[in-house]
Amino acid sequence: QVQLEESGGGLVQAGGSLRLSCEASGRISNTYTMGWFRQAPGKDREFVAGIRWSSGGTYYGDSVKGRFTISRDNAKNTGYLQMKSLNPEDTAVYFCAAGRSLRVVVGDDYNYWGQGTQVTVSS
């Protein structure tokens, strides 16, 4: 079983940057995918970014393309989400997720979820 813990959230001004981390308790299999999702109050969960652990192939939601970058450090069993040019619409709780044999953009396909970290962008 995989346990995930997010960190790096906080308050940032519009136009600023944050880097989120997602540390896994154990080894991430090469068959796994790690993803980031976010959810704002009153809104549906939204796919943000995903990465195939073995190949490093990346995927992004339309709303963050060109601004966010997902990456991973295999030796540290840690994934990252670098967020730049943040705006108030990015305000949400950000969740890290992992799983295997899944559709990267579909949250219900993931097996493991972190507790979430709050990102607030002030105008």
> CA-based Rg of the chain, rounded to a whole angstrom?
13
pLDDT band at 97 (very low <50, low <70, confident <90, very high): very high
- Structure confidence by residue, pLDDT tens digits, 12-29: 999 999 999 999 997 777
- Structure confidence by residue, pLDDT tens digits, 45-81: 999 999 999 999 999 999 999 999 999 998 899 999 9
Residue with tokens 């507790």: 115
Length of the chain: 123
Output the pLDDT for position 1. Answer: 77
Mean pLDDT of 98-107: 93
Cβ–Cβ < 8 Å for 5, 116: no
